[in-house]
Each structure stands twice: as C-alpha cells, then as structure tokens.
Amino acid sequence: MVAPQEQTELPIPNGWFAIAWSSDLVAGTVQRARYFDRELVLYRTRDGALHVLDAYCPHLGAHLGEGGRVIGETIRCPFHGWQFGGDGVCVNVPYSKKPPPAKARLRSWPVCERNGFVFVWHHHESVEPAWQPPQLPEFSDPNWTEPRKLELKVPIHIQDMAENNCDPVHFRFVHGNLALGESSITPGDEPHFFRAWSRSTQQTPLGTFETELERNTWGLGLVSVRTRGIGEAGLMMLAATSPIDRTNTHSRWLFTVTRDMADLAGEDFIDALGQGVLQDMRIWKNKIHRPAPVLCDADTDLAFFRKWVRQFYPPKSADGAAERNGAGARP
C-alpha cells in the first residue's frame, strides 16, 4: 500500500527542473514529456537548438509529441501539418492561402542545458527565469569518469524528496551510518541557493576515513553531493529532480569519481549511493506530507529548510499558511 499522497495541498514549486537527458535529443528528435501536470513536447531543430512547447496543437488538439516532425527549425503537427517555431508561433499552414491565424500559438518554455540535463523553467505566474542552473566543472574535466546514470519515479511531492538534504539524522536510521558527526547549513548570497555540510566516518575498500559531505542546493530541482576526505580522491553525485504533478516526482542522478580511484573504489562508491537511493524509496513511497511537522530542538536543519522552501510557492500555498500558524512546533 502506498501513502495517500493525493491529500497533499502543496502546489508545484517554481524553479528549474530537468525533463530529459541532453544525449537523448540529437538534431531532428521529437520527444513527449509530462511535467508540471502538463503535456509537453521537446524537439531539437536541424541547427541544434532545443525547444519545449505545450504539446497540444491549437488547431484540433493533436499531440505534437506523437508523430510530430522537425522540419528545419520548426516542428510540424502530425494531424494537418501546421508548423510551429521555437517561440510557439505557427509559421505555416501548408494548405491555406492566408497567413496562420494570430491565435495559432503554443506556450514556449524557457529551456537550458547543463551537465547533461535539459532544464525547463516553471513559474506559477509565468515570469522569466530569475537565475540559471550552474555548469559544474566535474562534467567537463577529463580527470573525472564518464558519469553513471540512475533515474526513478516516486509517488511523492518533490518537496518531501528534497527535504532529505536537510535531514542528517535519517542517514543513521535509514542508511545505517552510525558514526554521524556534526552538520551545518550556510545560506547562499542568492536566495535560491544554500550549502550544507555533514561529517562522518566512512568505511571504504581503501580503509576508514573521516569524511565531509558537501551538499549544494539550487532550488528544489538540483543538488550536488561531494564527498571529501578519502585521500585525494573525488566523489560526486548530482541529482536533478522534477515534479510530474503534485503527487509524482521524477529524479535523475549522475555519479562520477576521479579516474585515479575508479578501479580501486569508484564502483563501490557508485553502487553504495545507488543502494542508498533505494533505501530512501521505502520511506518516500509510504509517507505523507506534514505541512506543520512537530520538530524537536535538534531539527534545526529541517526548520531552516521549511522556511527556505516557501519562496518557491505562491504566497498563500499550503505550507506557508500552515507554518505561519505554528508549523515546526516543538513540545
């Protein structure tokens, strides 16, 4: 039995969210997707430009991701051949002698590509992007291995997955890390960003090390996790998580290590992180969202997160209202 996630009143948050792998979209590719509780179509034009539009043709409602074709720099509807540019405007009705109707247009979504992901900007008021996802150096550095991929779909609101990043105690009880040390959070200069640290003792094929876990967070959609302290080795995970709708989430992970440790412990590191994600799945699938959780005095990171996350929702969202009326109460 899964948790009754349909009870959550949390809306879909604002921010940049990954909706595809860049490598899946070569020139001429058309792909359908469902995120933000909407049907979308992704396509890459002949010159390599990537576009994301609402999927249903304004003519008679055909889905452009089911049989639509790239024609030069446009996408052509599979039903009657209407062609749309990357801005969503219809530029050609092949059997009409007049210009396309002015209302023949689709919503065009802001899009960018970083670290092998295709990101789309979602905002409840359709405002332009306030910031950009970062390009991380590990993914262009020849001293790091080709990233390994993992992806999962989880029947949970995206906030409940993102909250793990500010929950160091769960590493002990869910992941069996009995030597958990201190943790801290540092807000960034920009409001959508924060950095979290935690320290622990890690057993590896190379021995036992005192390690530091650095977690950088950009909105609710992107988290990098770097492990330091195992000699000069570098270990990194990048998680891009996106709302399919209010109660379903799609998460994509990239794992990479420095080449000097790939054979010695890199595979073990990647396998351990992948297994850790699966350990979280049992919790995620069977929990509910608490808009006003009862926190204890040691839940400082969680209290920070619940305040920080409000910026990504409309002002009168469920969590905002609940927390103003006593969320995070401590006995």
Rounded to two decimals, the pTM is 0.90
In CATH, 149-285 is 3.90.380.10: yes
What are the extents of the domains in the chain? 13-122, 149-285, 290-331
Are the C-beta atoms of 213 and 200 separated by less than 8 Å? yes
> Residue 166, by phi and psi: left (phi above 0), alpha (psi -120 to 50) or beta?
alpha
Tell which residue, 115, 177, 174, has the closest CA to residue 141.
115
Residue 219 has pLDDT above 90, yes or no: yes
The percent of residues in the chain predicted with pLDDT above 90, rounded, is 66
Per-residue pLDDT at 185 = 93
**pLDDT, tens digit (0-9, with 9 covering 90-100), for 274-293:** 777 788 888 888 999 999 99
Q: How many CA atoms lie within 13 A of 46 on its CB side?
A: 7
> How large is the average pLDDT for residues 262-277?
71
C-alpha–C-alpha distance, residues 187 and 174, integer Å? 26
- Average pLDDT (74-82) is 98
- pLDDT tens track for 112-127: 999 999 999 999 999 9
Sheet architecture: strand order including 30-35: 30-35, 38-44, 50-54
Q: What pLDDT, on a 0 to 100 scale, did the predictor assign at position 4? A: 55
User: From CA 311, how far away is CA 300, in angstroms rounded?
Assistant: 19
pLDDT at site 325:
33
Q: What is the pLDDT of residues 227-241, one digit of tens each?
A: 876 666 788 899 999
Distances (CA, A) of 325 to 153, 223, 328: 33, 30, 10
Q: Where are the beta strands (DSSP E) in the chain?
A: 15-21, 30-35, 38-44, 50-54, 69-71, 74-76, 83-84, 90-92, 111-114, 117-122, 148-154, 180-187, 193-204, 207-218, 222-228, 235-245, 248-257
Match domain 13-122 to its CATH number in 2.20.28.10, 2.102.10.10, 3.90.79.10, 3.40.30.10.
2.102.10.10
Q: How confident is the model over 141-155, as pLDDT tens digits?
A: 999 999 989 899 999
- Mean of the per-residue pLDDT values for the chain? 87
